Amino acid sequence: MVRKMYKILCPIERKEGKTHWMRVGTAYPNKDDSVNLYLDVLPANLKLQLRELTEEDLRDREGRSKPHGASLSHGASHHQLGMENNIPF
């Protein structure tokens, strides 16, 4: 039986009127149907949403399990590869 996993998201209102959803943690269900939440940050707006991990989330998670920098060619920086940080604030 596959155990469900959840992501914890926080909505951040942007200047353009759009909403950016930032992942702020992970959650796991218990045998008694309660849920343990593990927050990486506590959002200033205190708004949280719990969503079940999708297949895409799980694939991305597998890709991140490689050692840091394993996918970069020798000497290439994140910037050179178009992987610069796109933080909305």
Q: Extract the tokens encoding 19.
A: 């909403």
Query: Is the whole model's pTM more than 0.75, yes or no?
Result: no
Q: Write the pLDDT tens digit of every residue in 5-15.
A: 999 999 999 98
Which has more confidence, 17 or 74? Answer: 17
Domain range summary for the chain, segments of one domain joined by +: 6-55
Among 54, 51, 59, smallest CA distance to 35 is for 51
> How would you classify the pairing of strands 6-13 and 19-29?
antiparallel
| Pair 7, 49: CB distance under 8 Å | no
pLDDT (0 to 100) of residue 61: 74
What confidence tens digit (pLDDT) does each residue in 20-46 have?
999 999 999 999 989 999 999 999 999
Give the pLDDT band (50/70/90) at residue 1.
Answer: low
CA separation for the pair 56, 89 (Å, rounded) = 25
